[in-house]
Amino acid sequence: MGSRAKLILAAAVGCAFLLAVLLATGAVIGAGLEGEEHALFSAVLERRLGAVLMVVLVACVFLFLILRATHEFLVLPAARAAEEASAMLEEPSTRLSCQGNSELLALIAAVNRLAEQRQLRDKDIEATIRAANVAAEADRNRFAVLMSELAQGVIVCNMDGRVLLYNRRARALFAGAAGQGMAALGLGRSIFGLFDRHLIAYALENINVRRGAHRHFVAVTESGRLLRVLVAPILEAGATVAKGEAPEAASGLSGYMTMIEDMTETFDSESMRDQLLQDLTESSRGPVGNLRAAAETLYDYNDMSAEDHQRFLTVVRDEAEGLATRVETAARTFAAVLKSRWPLEEMLGADLLTAARSRISDRCALEASIEDVDAGVWIKVDGFSMLQAMTYFAARLRDEYQIHEVKLRLSRDGAMAHIDLIWSGVFMSTETVMQWELDALTVAGESSPLTVRDIVERNGGEVWFQRDHASYRAFFRFLLPAISAQDAAVTAVGVALADSRPEFYDFDLFKGEETGLALDDRVLAQLAFTVFDTETTGLEPSAGDEIIQIGAVRIVNRRLLRHEAFEQLIDPRRSLPPQSTKIHGITAEMLAGQPPIAQVLPIFRAFVADTVLVAHNAAFDMRFLELKEAATGIRFDRPVLDTFLLSAVLFPNQETHRLEAIAERLGVSVMGRHTAVGDAIVTAEVFLKMLPLLADKGIRTLGQAREASEKTYHARITY
């Protein structure tokens, strides 16, 4: 029973007791009177009944006010202190608020001093544990680094198919348009969202674990990429599988690893090569037959007329020329195929210029600087060979024209990137430039059989010399293909995540889950959650307000996965009120060109698949989603938890349950407020802090959390 309910009950009991005392007093007085005295007493009482009732009412009100003041001064501060003390168990840095009478204040001060001592002791213990775990954590991080940098995609799963490790390459392979890859691959997600369940089951069934064998299969992604997948089992230490026993039936098998290789380009080039050979063979049969027939005729009939002899020679010439043309065309086409198979890497053009500046300065003793760079240009090149080409040109400028300073410049023109090597004061002839392009590279004692032209062609580009008479400068321009914005976005995701490799694995997921239980009976700590937030045009979803941004992060195994996030601006197809912009900072210009809600909701629905939804004041966000069901056909039927209602369960005596107040209460830093992802991250951190507090109250399962939330007064709020 809550403290306010106790106050009301105490007031009711007090008033009932006061009324009973008055009635008993009247009954006792009336019982001692006889005759005229009793009649007089009854008449007086009847005449003054209203006054008596007024006195009784005033007495009851006075009693209630005394009880309420006592409750607010003695009971409520103690109840709030108890709630704050429970939060202190989860976040030792928080302290009890100083409120209440002097005795309670003394107790609170003593508790805060104990908390200080406990925090100091916990810090010492944590330092000891941290030092003991350094070696183990270093090994795990080294392993994560190695996995992250592999050229092949790696995904490790437990026997339920839940992903517990993946690397950057795997993430890039399954990154689709508009972030669909983010929804498909992530810690705790099922690998069967990427590959057909039967393919993996077949591979596992045919693995002889005792001999350390593995199996391959080929799969095709939704985007049409052709993948070659190796499946290898993971055994617990000392475990083996009996002969004839399926690996997944073995008690010692804890999971499996898949290594994924993109075969699309290789398959396409080999198919083109095979097609070239077949076309060359088929197209050569006729000419070769004609040549053979003409040659045999000329050999067998020496006495033929001059006219016939000339006619057969013409046939030989024409067929030979046609055959030579076919062979030359096939050779050029095959050379283009080989060039496309040259290993190229995606990189920022600015990074290539930085490396070139350093290499030219070190190898050529030239002063090299970067003049102007378009920081958003991505290119796909063989970085080392391009550095060789630029360094070679710089060295020849120094040796033959005594150039002591060069500048580097990067710009973009449509689908091509321009990298310019610039110098001042000396021009050269076109013949000299062509000779430099065709000479073998030799720089600082390093030589290469390749020429500058070979390198540029292998990178799919061009190079030329250009004069700028106005500034009395000249430059070599390397024209290289710039990769598309979508490919650059995928690459940028991988680069951005390079410093967060620990987010790519969670070996605790090897432990089995209670998958046999109904969802409401599952323990909260074992569930996967998607914590989300929306920004809108206003606060009235039923009156036409629309979602303009959705942000979400995932929680798996009680870990907040910040980099497995969803963030998307949405065109509301209506005007944006200025007062809403003041809150979230999103302008109409930012929403121009963004996808409508009908395109975003299917992707967001895939992102939240198989998870429990969490939001602060979830009724507001869910109402917007519910109103879109009829138009989009997308229904969010996952269970929902509301940190607003859970706060009311944990802290019923607190005056406010705003997100900022809860975060302060639980020691969570508030950053990025009123942005969808920022609010989602704060809500997720608050929710993680709430889990042990809910367990302390006996709320351990999803069903118990939902039931407790529905019983709160705030659950009546609707939109």
CATH class label, 267-340: mainly alpha
What is the Cα–Cα distance from 258 to 217, expressed in whole angstroms?
A: 10
Secondary structure (DSSP) of 121-170: HHHHHHHHHHHHHHHHHHHHHHHHHHHHH-SSEEEEEETT-BEEEE-HHH
- pLDDT at position 683, please? 94
- pLDDT at position 533, please? 94
As beta bridge partners, residue 262 has 227
Tokens representing 249? Answer: 């039936």
Q: Report strand pairing: 612-615 vs 529-536.
A: parallel
Q: Note the helical H segments in 368-424.
A: 383-401
What is the Cα–Cα distance from 614 to 616, expressed in whole angstroms?
A: 7
Secondary structure (DSSP) of 593-605: TPPBHHHHHHHHH
Backbone angles phi, psi at 388, to 5 degrees: -60, -45
Tokens representing 318? Answer: 């024409």
Residue with tokens 């979230």: 584
Report angle CA 566, 557, 676 to the nearest 5 degrees.
25
Report angle CA 111, 114, 116 to the nearest 5 degrees.
115
Return the DSSP state at 571.
B
CATH class label, 513-716: alpha beta
Q: Are 584 and 549 in contact (CB under 8 A)?
A: yes
- pLDDT at position 306, please? 81
User: Catalytic site residues?
Assistant: 674
Other CB atoms within a 10 A radius of the CB of residue 341 amount to: 15
Tokens representing 332? Answer: 């050029």
Q: Are 231 and 207 in contact (CB under 8 A)?
A: yes
Helix, strand, coil percent content, the chain, rounded in steps of 5: 55, 20, 25
Tokens representing 30? Answer: 């009336």
Low-confidence ranges of the chain (pLDDT < 50): 177-181, 209-211, 241, 243-251, 486, 489-502
Q: Are 96 and 112 in contact (CB under 8 A)?
A: yes
Other CB atoms within a 10 A radius of the CB of residue 426 amount to: 13
Longest dimension (CA), the chain: 173
Q: Report strand pairing: 440-443 vs 405-413.
A: unpaired
Domain boundaries, the chain: 1-130, 267-340, 345-481, 513-716
Report how far Cα 652 is from the mean position of its chain's Cα atoms. 35
What is the Cα–Cα distance from 401 to 398, expressed in whole angstroms?
A: 6
Q: Are 683 and 533 in contact (CB under 8 A)?
A: yes
- pLDDT at position 301, please? 80
- pLDDT at position 499, please? 41
Q: Are 533 and 485 in contact (CB under 8 A)?
A: no
425: left (phi over 0), alpha (psi -120 to 50) or beta: left
What is the Cα–Cα distance from 330 to 277, expressed in whole angstroms?
A: 8
Which residue, among 455, 461, 452, 468, has the nearest Cα to 371 in the 3D structure?
Answer: 468
CATH of domain 345-481: 3.30.565.10
What is the Cα–Cα distance from 381 to 346, expressed in whole angstroms?
A: 7
- pLDDT at position 641, please? 95
Q: Are 553 and 684 in contact (CB under 8 A)?
A: yes
CB under 8 Å to 529, separation ≥6 — which residues? 554, 555, 556, 611, 612, 613, 614, 641, 684, 687
- Burial status of residue 530 (CB atoms within 10 A of its CB: 0-12, 13-18, 19 or more): buried
Which residue, among 631, 606, 497, has the nearest Cα to 222 in the 3D structure?
Answer: 606
